[in-house]
């Protein structure tokens, strides 16, 4: 297993629309293992393939308190959604940024698991938010797209500044 690099906003590759996975094979399972390692190490609750520059319809998640309920969703689709729910969201592509986003409160999602078997499950609360957030990633959509242009611009400037600083320190350390 190997830890992957998570793309940081405003990297344009986060805007790519992911392609359907035709076959769930060992290659895909190896990507899944690396994505879990990356997500747990970065202390995220979800990670979409798009965020590690792999433009396939796949995400991993673990919204449990003890981080011991790994879930894989391949070619996920929301088939039912009801209610509204507004909650703080963060994202591994936006370190240190949190913002309130309105989502459906309850959803039903169908997807393939890591063996290529189709499943369907209902979700609410944090898991429902996470699934909607990750499916957005696969469509090149980001949680800041729900905010006002002004707020989004402020977040972009903050992250670009932090990235410049990080690059500067990395260069000086060499």
Catalytic residue among 124, 134, 153, 167: 134
DSSP string computed for 137-173: HHTT--GGGGS-HHHHHHHHHHHHHHHHHHHHHHHHT
Secondary structure of residue 89 in the 3-state scheme:
strand
**Which residue in 32, 52, 74, 91 binds Ni ion (CB under 5 A)?**
91
Q: Note whether 74 and 28 are within 8 A (CB).
A: yes
Q: Which residues contact 45 (CB under 8 A, 6 or more apart)?
A: 39, 61, 62, 63, 126, 130
Cα of first residue to Cα of last residue in the chain, in angstroms, is 27
Sole window of 2-10, 87-95, 122-130, 150-158 interacting with Ni ion (rule: CB under 5 A): 87-95
By rule CB under 5 A, what count of residues binds Ni ion? 1
CA 12, 17, 23: angle at the middle one, nearest 5?
130
By beta-carbon proximity to Ni ion, the closer residue of 72 and 91 is 91
Task: Tell whether 174 is in a known binding site.
Answer: no
In the complex, minimum distance from the CB of residue 110 to Ni ion, in angstroms, rounded to a whole number: 21
In the complex, minimum distance from the CB of residue 108 to Ni ion, in angstroms, rounded to a whole number: 21
In the complex, minimum distance from the CB of residue 137 to Ni ion, in angstroms, rounded to a whole number: 6
Sole window of 55-63, 84-92, 101-109, 122-130 interacting with Ni ion (rule: CB under 5 A): 84-92
Task: Tell whether 130 is in a known binding site.
Answer: no
> Is 89 in the active site?
no
| Rounded distance between C-alpha atoms, residue 174 and residue 166, angstroms | 13
In the shown chain, the binding pattern of residues 32 to 71 toward Ni ion, with x for contact by CB under 5 A and - for none, equals: ----------------------------------------
| Rounded distance between C-alpha atoms, residue 68 and residue 64, angstroms | 7
- Residues in contact with Ni ion by CB under 5 A are 91
Annotated binding site for Fe cation: 91, 133, 137
Residues with active-site annotation: 134
């Amino acid at each position: 297993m190997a830890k992957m690099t998570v793309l940081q906003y405003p990297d344009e590759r986060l805007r790519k629309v992911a392609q359907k996975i035709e076959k769930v094979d060992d290659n895909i399972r190896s990507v899944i293992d690396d994505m879990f390692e990356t997500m747990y190490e970065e202390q995220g609750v979800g990670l979409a393939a798009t965020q590690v520059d792999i433009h396939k319809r796949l995400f991993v998640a673990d919204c449990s308190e003890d981080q011991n309920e790994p879930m894989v969703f391949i070619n996920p689709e929301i088939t039912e959604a009801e209610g509204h729910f507004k909650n703080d969201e963060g994202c591994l592509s936006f370190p240190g940024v949190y913002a309130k986003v309105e989502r459906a409160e309850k959803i039903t999602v169908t997807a393939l698991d890591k063996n290529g078997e189709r499943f369907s499950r209902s979700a609410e609360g944090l898991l429902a938010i996470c699934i909607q957030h990750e499916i957005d990633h696969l469509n090149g959509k980001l949680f800041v797209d729900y905010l006002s242009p002004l707020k989004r611009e402020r977040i972009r400037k903050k992250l670009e500044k932090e990235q410049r600083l990080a690059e500067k320190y990395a260069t000086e350390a060499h």
